[in-house]
Structure 1
Amino acid sequence: MSSSAASTEPSVESTKSQRLDAPLWKYVTITSGSDKSGGNVAFTCNFCGGKLTGSHSRVKSHLLRIKGTGVKIYPTITRDQTVELQALLDHCDQQLNAKAQHKVALPPSSMTGSGISYFPLREREDEVKKRRGLSPQLSKAFRQEDRRECDASVARLFYSSGLAFNVARNPNYRESYSLASKIPGYVPPGYNALRTTLLDNEKRHIERTLLPIKKTWKETGVSLCSDGWTDGQKRPLINMMAAAKDGAMMLKAINCEGVTKSKEEIGRLLLESINEIGPENVVQVVTDNAPVSAAAGAIVEITHPHIFWTPCVVHTLNLALKDLLKAKSYLPGETVVEELGWLMEVYNDVWFIKNFVVNHNMRLAMYHEHCALRLLQVAPTRFASHFIVLKRFRDVKSGLQQMVISQRWDLYKEDDASKARVVKEMLLKEKFWEQIDFLIALMGPIYEMIRMSDMDRPCLHLVYEWWNSMIEKVKKAVFNPEFVHVITEHCDVTRFYDVVYPILTARWTKSCTPLHCLAHSLNPKYYSSQWLEEDPNRVPPHRDAELNNERRRCFQKLFPDSQTRNKVMEEFARFSLNMGDFSSSDALENKFCFEPLTWWVSYGPSTPLLQSLALKLLNQPCSSSCCERNWSTYAFIQGLKRNKLQPRRAQDLVYVHTNLRLLARKSSSYYKDMDSMWDLGGDDHDSMEQGNIDVLEMATLSLDVPVLERMVIDDEMET
């Protein structure tokens, strides 16, 4: 403060021996009464000489020039003096709070479970009265008012910014406030720091944290997955993801604005990412089935002969579904419109009814009166969109029929009454529902395989068996006596299957690679007696001619040296014929029981080359669905409110977001603490209990990104 007041102004340090609850008494001279009594006293200001009467609060109002209190203020006090006085008060408040926290323990909110109260005497006195809150003294000690104001401020942040309530489940949310409370006077980072320095720092931190995962790729191998997308500014982007047993890690997203996405350009980008990962660690490159992607994959295979290009299994299955509905023929010189054309007609009828109901407010209100489930609005570009629409439509059959037989349906004439009559006739026709049931049964096995393949989990070694099983299930659905009369209205049942089978096998032939066959051959389960006895037509992989040919092609690519290749083939013979260490009773019995990786680690050391190969192939995914999910993250971060983000900053935000979730899911606390699976569900679910839905499956499902996924899960929960 000013030198004129130096003799009467104690420093902050000198207040340690003074009264912490009333430090400003040192700046006045008491003329009558005592400051220790807590009542009013007469005093003279040491600065202005003014004479006043009152308590310490009037001294504070006078010196700090607090208006509206009825106290004459000190007119000539400077800003620096005011700041120093306020700092002294704040310092004393902090010391009081620290002491109060050590002296008084926070009482529990309730102990109703044991029937014991924290204040037993008071409870007995007021048992018929409304329970009282904390006393004024305790409330002041625990700063209840300050806590309420802080809670209100945090809530106001959520409300004003439109933040999802699910943000409060994020462990970083609570951790940030906990750390901030330990730093007196902490001010959160501002706009520029969040979007520049701190974002760069977090990206570097994540890169360091991911290093231990990357070091495991030498043993487990990794798949490079890639896909294209267009952002809100119509910029073409290509993302690169590294998928292995620990999940999918985002590497980068590349802005291809002004660049032709030719096979040479895509191949160059893939090769750059392979070099960043390490060519020796990459097992396969997974992309969609587009011709330009296949050509780029061929460039990769020429440059690195040990790396395979693998088309995404999910894309392949989705194309198979579309081929069925489009009546696409794979029989040379033949048309299959007569046999399959009616499938799309049934789907179009369902789409017509759905649109009629959804696009008329009164009809939609009638629907809601009878159906709790929503009619799905599914984009045709989504995986298995046709099946999803049909399945939901079938699930609300009863409600739809009740709707059209109600009086309101016939009495309402404001919209197209003729269409309403057509809708009513169709919904009450049993033949229409039998056709829908058949379509669901026909497409169900394909949809089921899409669900299983549409994961980041290792499943490359399961694809071959899944295809065979799926085709068998489709065959059973076609020859099911329940649906024979539905098919025979259009063609013979055998003819119908003879048309469907080539569609499925043609798609499988286009997507099947030698890598699928080799991975299948290294799965111990397929050599076990339990698996072979489930179906008399099954044979172990080493006795399948097709698998044998594809396996040899793989060995030639992976082991160009003939001496090493011969050694690997000898090891495979010992494995497939149960020779040496593989002949033990434990090894034979556990082929069916153990996970393939566990079995190879336990019984494979005697064949080191084959074991090393198995540990890599059995850790790989079969689809590029992680890229689809990454674009969902991109759309979430660079949405309508943030569509002006520069590509580089948007890429950094997506990189940080995606890889933070990957790291969080590797933590054991992610599955069991109070914030268990904090990044799932959001505000769309009241409950995320594992008993209701398979939340982990939902976390990696990309059938709809982001809308259909939620609706599919709702469907499973509600039905």
Structure 2
Amino acid sequence: MTSVEKSTSTSPRRDPGWKYCHLQDPNNKHNVVCNFCGKVTKGGVYRAKQHIVGGFRNTTKCNQCPAHVHEEIKEYMLRKSKGNARTNIHEIDAFDEDDVDDTEVQSHGKRASSSQNSNQITTKRAKQRAFVDLHFTPNLEKVVQDKREGKMKQAAISETCKKELRDKAYREIAKWFYDAGISFNAAKLESFSLAVEAIGQYGPGMKPPSYDELRGPLLRKEVDHTKELVQSHEEDWAKHGCSILSNRWRDSVSNRDIMSFFVSSPKGVVFIRSIDVSNNVKNANGLLHVLDQMVEEIGETNVIQVVTDNTSDYVAMAKLLEAKRPHLYWMPCAAHCLDFVLEDIGNLPLVHRTLNEAVFLNGYIQNRTGMVNMMKQCTRGRDLPRFTVPRFAAAFLTLQSLHHQKSNLRKMFTSEEWSKSKWAKKQAGKRAANIVLMPKFWENAIDVLKIIGPLVRVLRLVDGEEKPTMGYIYEAMRRAKNATARSFKENEEKYGHIFDIINNRWACQLNHPLYAAGHFLNPEFFYSNPKIRQDEVVVRGLYECIERLVPSLELQDKIIDELALYKNAEGLFGMEMAKRKRNKKAPAEWWRFFGLSTPNLQKFAVRVLSLVCSASSCERDLKIFKRLHSKRRNRLAQERLNDLVFVKYNRALMRRHNWRDAIDPVLLNDIDDDNEWLVDMEPSGGRFELVYYRRRSRV
């Protein structure tokens, strides 16, 4: 007889585990000693078997156990768990009769009663089920997705049995929405579906989180989780570069000037923090200190550009920042620059008068319920839009909508119902009717749409978050100007002053080397327009970017040498597949696929073409901040407020990034085509008049 099997070979117990372990104290059924390594495990023979087999979280594996013993005990445990759905060795924690032996014998040596034994077994099984439910319940996101795709439909009899319980749960959830005044749109969030699924997996008797738990430990846990997600972006910042986006706004609740910071990269936009800059609001050196600290935190080698407003204090700060940080750019927000272009055009007498009349007409109808109902009878139930964005583009979209409903509005203001209404007799009503029935207003509206339409399309392009636009803004502005010129049949007297406004703004705010470099490196435009390689402004912009963004002189020379392959479409650039994909893939993605022949140029091109042109992401922060920091909650601690904004905003940004399509290229056809406001003809007053065909707008 071996020493391993001493003291246990004569044991009356049937479990083979007793061959390889023994009790430390005959009076203590729980402390068991391993015969191989001498480790004492607490929990009876079952825990000792886990120690021998290994792979369990409850105890460490015995390193001195022979292989044949390991396999013997493992096979026994699997056989014991047969009939259970969980047969994986890491999931075995099933009920074992030898564990009952340890709990059935009382300290006085008497066997417990059958009722006590039954209760103990039931309690143990409940604990074991709870452990398995904790670690092996299905993934929430996968369950919700499968339900949406119809992959987890229950049997008809189960649906019938659960219908009443489901209806009851729905009513209680609805009551909570009504009591708390929560927007119905909250039910569309995926997190709502995940929360309901998690509650269902817990089962009956779940205690809801308390007020203090929600504002304390649970919030801190979510902040930590969100920080982990943000940290996952840092590798992308180092690999492809990133942009720091900043926006400054006034918090009317606490009367503070708040500056928000975001970091944008190909992996998405993340919110970093908002800080109080009330003391630095008009101080270029103060703004420099704040932004320079952010560059230092993100890493100067990772930051390609800093995008902010283009106010005078930011312009002064930009010169100081670029002098201190010689290998990054400051960029004014392209969306704000285009807003200024549109506002300058809006100050022209014809445009200003026409837009004011359109805004008055729209407001007059929208502010009177009776007028809205009367209009819907003529428009087949369609309403005029209500725009809340504080931008010049809102007035343009109002004019666009009115022009689309031109014939219906004329029908309404010439109807008998209108002539008999109380509004037809009032001064404001007469003014509204004159606007609609005056041919000159509609003629001016067409001219305004010709002028502004293409620029609004460019604004929508740079203001979006779906795709990087650095490689498109240069071409988009050129096509917008060409579309305007064609819509006026190249009559420069009608649009020359408009081009002067655009050129002045472009020269002082939008004429940037990064735009030129993006234009040169976009294969869709470079290979279709041979003039680009001869355009001194574009080529100079490319070379300036290389000198500033690539500190190493050796790498600069390698990039210049590799440009020849790109220009001549040699190497992978010359493959038929690469040619076909020039206008079918996003520029940065095209370079990742076909730029391997020029690795240094490829890295530079991807970093430039992955950049955004505007800081529009920052503006959504204002809405979230105001929603969380209302007058009713103005005593909310600043730290907790920052945590709430940090969690909510980053979750929203990640949802938007998951929905976007960054692979397909940006399409400029709607800018390049003939002015889209004018695509059809209809007779009006004895002559044919161009009519705008309305497309869906995203502005």
The answer to whether the superposition gives a TM-score over 0.5 is yes
Say whether 1:547 aligns with 2:562. Answer: no
- Give the superposition deviation at 1:367: 3.1
SS in 2 for 1:174: helix
Q: What is aligned with 2:305? A: 284
Q: What is aligned with 1:475? A: 485
SS in 2 for 1:249: strand
Alpha-carbon distance in 2 for matches of 1:12, 1:193: 42
- Give the superposition deviation at 1:309: 0.9
Alpha-carbon distance in 1 for matches of 2:640, 2:392: 30
Please identify, of 232-241 and 654-663, the stretch whose mean Cα deviation from structure 2 is larger.
654-663
Alpha-carbon distance in 2 for matches of 1:623, 1:561: 28
Contact 2:423 2:429 in 1 (8 A): no
Q: Return the match for 2:359 from 319, 330, 351.
A: 351
Contact 1:467 1:508 in 2 (8 A): no
Contact 2:366 2:372 in 1 (8 A): yes
Q: What is aligned with 1:451? A: 460
Contact 1:238 1:254 in 2 (8 A): yes
Alpha-carbon distance in 1 for matches of 2:584, 2:163: 58
What is the identity, as a one-letter code, of the residue corresponding to 1:469?
A: R
Q: 1:527 to 1:174 in 2, by over 3 A?
A: closer
What is the identity, as a one-letter code, of the residue corresponding to 1:220?
A: H
- Give the superposition deviation at 1:185: 3.9
- Which residues of 2 match residues 562-641 of structure 1 at below 5 A? 562-580=553-571, 582-639=573-630
What is the identity, as a one-letter code, of the residue corresponding to 1:156?
A: K
What is the identity, as a one-letter code, of the residue corresponding to 1:262?
A: N
Alpha-carbon distance in 2 for matches of 1:16, 1:366: 76
Alpha-carbon distance in 2 for matches of 1:11, 1:155: 49
- Identical columns (%): 25
Contact 2:250 2:258 in 1 (8 A): yes
What's the TM-score once normalised by structure 1's chain length? Answer: 0.66
Alpha-carbon distance in 2 for matches of 1:177, 1:379: 34
Q: Return the match for 2:495 from 494, 497, 515.
A: 497
Contact 2:243 2:612 in 1 (8 A): yes
Please identify, of 594-603 and 618-627, the stretch whose mean Cα deviation from structure 2 is larger.
594-603
Q: What is aligned with 1:409? A: 418
Say whether 1:716 aligns with 2:684. Answer: no
Q: 1:666 to 1:527 in 2, by over 3 A?
A: closer
Q: 1:451 to 1:562 in 2, by over 3 A?
A: same
Alpha-carbon distance in 2 for matches of 1:502, 1:415: 43
Q: What is aligned with 1:252? A: 273
Q: Return the match for 1:189 from 196, 199, 209.
A: 209
Contact 1:232 1:643 in 2 (8 A): no
Q: What is aligned with 1:308? A: 329
Say whether 1:202 aligns with 2:222. Answer: yes
Q: What is aligned with 1:653? A: 644
Q: 1:420 to 1:276 in 2, by over 3 A?
A: same
The Cα offsets for residues 635-693 of structure 1, whole Å up to 9 and x where unpaired, read as 333346545434432222121112223444566xx799xxxxxxxxxxxxxxxxxxxxx
Alpha-carbon distance in 2 for matches of 1:444, 1:563: 46
Alpha-carbon distance in 1 for matches of 2:448, 2:565: 46
Q: What is aligned with 2:152? A: none
Say whether 1:391 aligns with 2:400. Answer: yes
Structure 2 unaligned blocks of 5 or more: 1-111, 131-154, 662-666, 668-693
Contact 1:514 1:551 in 2 (8 A): yes
Q: What is aligned with 2:505? A: 507
Q: Return the match for 2:443 from 434, 455, 459.
A: 434
Q: 1:625 to 1:186 in 2, by over 3 A?
A: same
Alpha-carbon distance in 2 for matches of 1:612, 1:426: 57
- Give the superposition deviation at 1:205: 1.0
Alpha-carbon distance in 1 for matches of 2:165, 2:389: 53
Q: What is aligned with 1:109? A: none
Q: 1:203 to 1:12 in 2, by over 3 A?
A: farther
Matched residues, number: 522
SS in 1 for 2:232: helix
- Which residues of 2 match residues 81-230 of structure 1 at below 5 A? 148-181=167-200, 182=202, 185-230=205-250
Q: Return the match for 2:472 from 462, 466, 469.
A: 462
Q: 1:580 to 1:226 in 2, by over 3 A?
A: same
Alpha-carbon distance in 1 for matches of 2:363, 2:279: 39
RMSD over aligned Cα atoms:
3.5
- Give the superposition deviation at 1:362: 4.2
What is the identity, as a one-letter code, of the residue corresponding to 2:415?
A: S
Q: What is aligned with 1:65? A: none
- Give the superposition deviation at 1:162: 1.6
Q: 1:320 to 1:214 in 2, by over 3 A?
A: same
What is the identity, as a one-letter code, of the residue corresponding to 1:326?
A: N
Contact 2:269 2:654 in 1 (8 A): no
Q: 1:11 to 1:465 in 2, by over 3 A?
A: farther
Q: What is aligned with 2:76? A: none
- Give the superposition deviation at 1:398: 2.4
- Give the superposition deviation at 1:350: 2.0
- Give the superposition deviation at 1:177: 3.7
Say whether 1:235 aligns with 2:256. Answer: yes
Contact 2:355 2:396 in 1 (8 A): no
Contact 1:288 1:312 in 2 (8 A): yes
Contact 1:358 1:364 in 2 (8 A): yes
Q: 1:12 to 1:224 in 2, by over 3 A?
A: farther
Structure 1 unaligned blocks of 5 or more: 1-9, 21-86, 95-116, 120-133, 328-340, 481-492, 533-538, 673-693, 695-713
Alpha-carbon distance in 2 for matches of 1:11, 1:300: 82
Alpha-carbon distance in 1 for matches of 2:392, 2:114: 69
Q: What is aligned with 1:27? A: none
- Give the superposition deviation at 1:624: 0.8
- Give the superposition deviation at 1:148: 4.9
What is the identity, as a one-letter code, of the residue corresponding to 2:356?
A: N
Q: 1:431 to 1:614 in 2, by over 3 A?
A: same
Alpha-carbon distance in 2 for matches of 1:398, 1:245: 46
Larger RCO, structure (CA 8 Å, separation 6 or more):
1
- Give the superposition deviation at 1:462: 1.1
SS in 2 for 1:433: helix
Q: 1:616 to 1:11 in 2, by over 3 A?
A: farther
- Give the superposition deviation at 1:414: 6.4
Contact 1:274 1:282 in 2 (8 A): yes
What is the identity, as a one-letter code, of the residue corresponding to 1:404?
A: F
What is the identity, as a one-letter code, of the residue corresponding to 1:302?
A: A
Contact 1:219 1:615 in 2 (8 A): no
